[in-house]
Structures are given as structure tokens and as C-alpha cells.
Chains A and B, each alone.
Chain A
């Protein structure tokens, strides 16, 4: 479960101070599929970094599974990212010249999982992400964009995290492949009850989620159930 209380983030530079987030509060329960939407400059990327434990808020508290992550050290944050968060990036960020399997096993390497277990978990995760077994030993740069994003999703899933953070996951894909990837997220949420936060600036993408949080200029302007979603 995620709880944000009055989160603010201020960047200071030579030119002065810029407040990007101005006191955001919300809760996300386990098993929710939430989209955070907002135009560029709204602060959604900064929020994503805080939710992903890549950064800490200037003030306010961020509770992830009951732990206040906001005052963690660098290494403690790395540990949280490794065990509790799975990232899916717009540009996939896979290791080129490495096999699909190796990429998916990477978080487990840092978690100190044994070699045999790594392979079992990685294969299972790849199946859940919907990648054909045929590609497991291919190099990642031989794959199509859609396949690459499935590998990235598998990598995000492999440690069975409390939260999957997808940052514009369809941004580098054509609309048809994008649909397939979004369907994968929906399936993971419905069938395996993973908590998913989708960060995007596109309304059609956001409408795959059950709940949409809209932010603008560092504040939440709307937080509502997605009524348009069929079913």
C-alpha cells in the first residue's frame, strides 16, 4: 500500500528555487491500477521518481508498505527499489548485447538470488509478460519494440514487487503495439493483482487504468474512478 502525505519537492539552483510538487496527498491500495496524467512540466516525472524511490521529497512523507521511505539513505533506497518496485521505462533500458534472460535476471543478481532460482523466476516472469519462449536466449537488440517492452515488463515483475511503475511505456511504440503492452498491464492487474501506476500524458493511455489522478502545476486537480472504462 502506498500513502503520500503532503509531498513537496523543491529544486534549488543558482537561478533560485523551483517548487515542482506543492503538497500532494493520496493513497493507493494494493491491487489498484492507477494512471497519473498531466502535461509536461506538471511534475508527474518528479512524482514518479519519488514513488519509485529514486528521489526523496523535500517535505511530507511517503509510506511504502508502512515504511517511511522519505528519509532513507542511498543504499536503503536501492534496496527498496530492488525488492519493492519494478520499473518499466519509455526507452526500455535493456542491456544491449545481452540475452533476454540475462536482462530479466539482473535485479535478482543484485538481490543475491542463487543462479538456479534466478533462471526459474526469470522464465516464469517472461511467460507472465507474454514473451514467447523462442526469444529467451536472443540478444535484446534483435527484438522488436513490443518484444523489448515485454522483456522490460518481465524484468519489472521478476522480484515480485509491491508496485510496478510504468513511465510512458507506450511512448516509443506504435499504437497497435502500445495497445498490446497496455493489455498486458491490465491482465497483470486483473489476473495476478499487481499494483500498477502508469505515468503518461495521453488520455487514451490513461483510460486503460481504473483510477486516474490528474496533476497540473504540482497539485492534484482531479482524482477519480475511470468511468469510461468498459466492464
Chain B
């Protein structure tokens, strides 16, 4: 039997039962469609989280105080007091791979303007901060070295904080805000970055480091030291050098007892992707179940078809069809169903992911890998679930098949 004849036979058989073929295909369409849509949501989420992290600054290494080992509940700001401005200065002076260093103290405070108030993150830092953390100024200026030296009560608002305190798009430069009851003059507003969720820089308010230490915290410790490496390759070296420097400065001989921890961007991205990977896997598994159900639908239809067409199979064998001809006909029929279902499912899944992005704003990404995977899986389902019915058809005895009522 020639290939072209095989396909002609199969198309005729599928068209002979349009409703049943259509419904069986629908099962696969839903399965493949949801796999594509779910994976695209998972991968989109992981993509947007990663780009958010990247937007926090390039080649960034953060040094943070270690967890407080004495009693007490950690309360953010100053919970463990091990890093000082002197540490930051020492890193800047002694570590050659550190391109820029900015110490910071941060905490959440109630911030008010005329009649409006918000609870947001206030960051006390120095002039080099915007370079390291990718902050861009929209209006006015960022905090200068002079501001830090003279302990000025000036503030730079994140675009989101500005929107909350003064209204969207209002020029807040020159206005006054109160943080913890203390008046600050607004000298600048940052450009919106569009990141969402915890730690978005758009919602932050920046003030001079010295001012924050004196008026808000009341001590001389830092909550983070931000360091920018010269390039991506020097990150590991930088991390090692900073660790050694701080250990010797803090008189700690055993690195296991370090009173600080160092995180670089790669670590943050890795921990974030492990979460999104789990999410993708979970969504994919849910979709996979519907794919298996679709496959069982194929098997059910093929078994019904084999039973219904027993006499036809008997006749085909009587006039010279070999086992291979019969099994191939039913196997390819099943594969064709799943293949059509797979193609339509990929299209529907792609449309669904576009709709999700449009209506919920969640980023989605249909990757070539997931499309190829879906095609492979649908073909495999056709073969797996079509094999048994095809074998059953091929094994039919022509005499009993011809007599079948």
C-alpha cells in the first residue's frame, strides 16, 4: 500500500465521522492548548521577574548584615548591626574590582505631604547610588556628596511615591514632605521603572545617608552596602575580596561565623527562577493531565472505530490487506487526529496567552521549545494511544471479522 493511498483512506475515514473526529480532536486541542498557555504564563513570569532583578542594577553585589544571633525579633532597619560606613569606605579604597560603592540604610516610614500620606520605604544613601542601582532622575537632582556631608534634610522621590503624595505627574520639586514628623524638601523625582512587587524602586524615597542615620535611625550602622563590579567576570573575585576584607576588619577568623552575607545578582536571579520554574512545572503538570485525558479520548474513539469497522477490516484482509496495512491505517489515523489537535491547540494556546497578557497584564512568552514539545507530545500520544487499537484491528481473524454483526 502506498503512502498517498494510506492518507487518502484515512482522510475518508475521518471525514466519514466528522462529529466524532472533531470532538476527539477537541480533547487534544484543549490539552495542547492549555500546555502552551500555562507554560507561556510560567515562562513569561520568570522572564519578567528576571528583567526586574536586572533593572535593579548591573553587576551588582550586595553586602547585608548577618542575621542577629542574640535574642529578639528582627525588625528590618538596624536589626543586626555589623556594617558601618567605614566598611563601605574600606571596600571602595581597598578592593580594586569595585567600581562604585554605596552604603544605605533603609526602612519603612509613614510619609506625609499636604493632606496625603503613605507608608513607604525610605532609603538613606550617598551620591553614587543611582549609578549602581540604575536609578534615573526625571526632575531635579539626586542627593549630592554635599547633601550627605552637611546632613541636609532633602529628599528624592520615586515616581510612584510622588504619585501617592502629590498626584500623578505633578512637579513636586521644591515641595515639602514629612518623614517621621521631620520636614524634608523635595529636590528631585526619579523616572518610572515599571517594576512591580516588593522592593520596587519607584515607591522609594531617597534621603542623604547621614541624615537618615542621625534623624531616623539614631545610629551609625548600614543596612546594605551596594557594590558595582567592574564587569560580570570580576563578580566572583569581588565577592571573595570583599569577604576577606570584611572578615579581617571584623576580626573574624572562621568564615562560617561571618556577621554579614554577600549576595550577587546571579544568586537572586537563581533563587527567583527556582520559584518560577516550580510554578511552570506545576502549571504544565495540570495541563498535562488534560492532555492525557485527551489521549484516552483518542484511544476510546479508535477502539470504537475498530469495533464498528470490524467487517470492513475483515473485507480488507480478504481482498489482500496485510497486517501491516491494517495496523498502519489505524495507527496513522490516531496520529493524524492528535497532530491536527496539536496544531490547532498550539494556535489556541498562543491566542490564550495573548489574551492573558492583554486582559491581566501578566507577561507571557510562547517559546519554540514549548511548541516543539507540544508537537512531540501530541504525536507520541497518537502513537501510544493508537497502538493498542491498531494492533487489535490487525490481529482480527478475517473469517470472524467478516461474520461480525
Contacts and interface: CB of A to CB of B under 8 A. Distances in A.
A155 interface: yes
A81 B399 contact: no
Nearest to B6: A109
Contact of B16 (A54, A55, A97, A155): A97
B16 A79 contact: no
B136 interface: no
B399 A111 contact: no
Interface stretch (B103-111, B206-214, B256-264, B308-316): B308-316
A49 interface: yes
Nearest to A87: B318
B232 to A, nearest CB: 64
Contacts of A107: 319-320
Nearest to B5: A109
B1 A79 contact: no
Given A49-B399, A93-B311, A93-B402, A112 B320 contact: no
Nearest to A45: B399
Contacts of B399: 49, 54-55
Contacts of B314: 93
A95 interface: yes
B171 interface: no
A88 to B, nearest CB: 11
Nearest to B309: A95
Given A93-B402, A109-B5, A78 B320 contact: yes
Contact of B319 (A55, A74, A82, A98): A82
Q: How big is chain A's contact interface, by range?
A: 20 to 34
Interface in A91-109: 93, 95, 97-98, 106-107, 109
Interface residues of B, number: 23
A74 B320 CA distance: 10
Contacts of A62: none
A191 interface: no
A55 B402 CA distance: 13
Nearest to A155: B319
Interface stretch (B60-68, B217-225, B321-329): B321-329
B398 A83 contact: no
Interface in B1-41: 1-2, 5, 9, 12, 16
A106 B319 CA distance: 8
Among B2, B9, B315, the most chain A Cβ lie within 10 Å of the Cβ of: B315
A52 interface: yes
Which label, helix, strand, loop or mixed, suits the secondary structure of the A interface? helix
B309 to A, nearest CB: 9
A83 B320 contact: yes
A110 B323 CA distance: 12
B323 A106 contact: no
The B contact surface, by secondary structure, is: helix
A133 interface: no
A33 interface: no
Interface string A20-57: 00000000000000000000000000000100101100
Contact of B317 (A49, A78, A98, A112): A78
B311 A110 contact: no
B398 A54 contact: yes
Interface string A174-202: 00000000000000000000000000000
B5 to A, nearest CB: 5
A164 B272 CA distance: 76
A97 B17 CA distance: 11
A75 interface: yes
B316 A106 contact: yes
A89 interface: yes
A177 to B, nearest CB: 22
B1 A75 contact: no
A220 B80 CA distance: 109
B402 A110 contact: no
Interface in A107-163: 107, 109-112, 155, 159
B12 A98 contact: yes
Contacts of A98: 12
A195 to B, nearest CB: 18
A219 to B, nearest CB: 22
Given A49-B399, A95-B312, A81 B320 contact: yes
A78 B394 CA distance: 12
A89 B402 contact: yes
A78 B319 CA distance: 7
* Residue of A52, A75, A97, A110 ringed by the most chain B CB atoms within 10 A: A110
Interface string A56-94: 000000000000000000110011011100010100010
Interface of A: 49, 52, 54-55, 74-75, 78-79, 81-83, 87, 89, 93, 95, 97-98, 106-107, 109-112, 155, 159
Kindly list the 7 A-B residue pairs having the minimum CB-CB distance in the complex, ordered from nearest.
A82-B320, A110-B320, A107-B319, A93-B315, A78-B322, A75-B322, A109-B5
14 contacts: A49-B399, A54-B398, A54-B399, A74-B322, A74-B323, A75-B323, A78-B321, A78-B323, A81-B320, A83-B320, A87-B319, A89-B315, A93-B315, A95-B315
Given A75-B323, A98-B12, A112-B2, 20 more contacts: A54-B318, A54-B399, A74-B323, A78-B317, A78-B323, A79-B320, A79-B322, A81-B318, A81-B319, A81-B320, A82-B319, A83-B320, A87-B319, A89-B315, A93-B311, A106-B316, A107-B319, A110-B1, A110-B316, A110-B321
Interface of B: 1-2, 5, 9, 12, 16, 311-312, 314-325, 398-399, 402
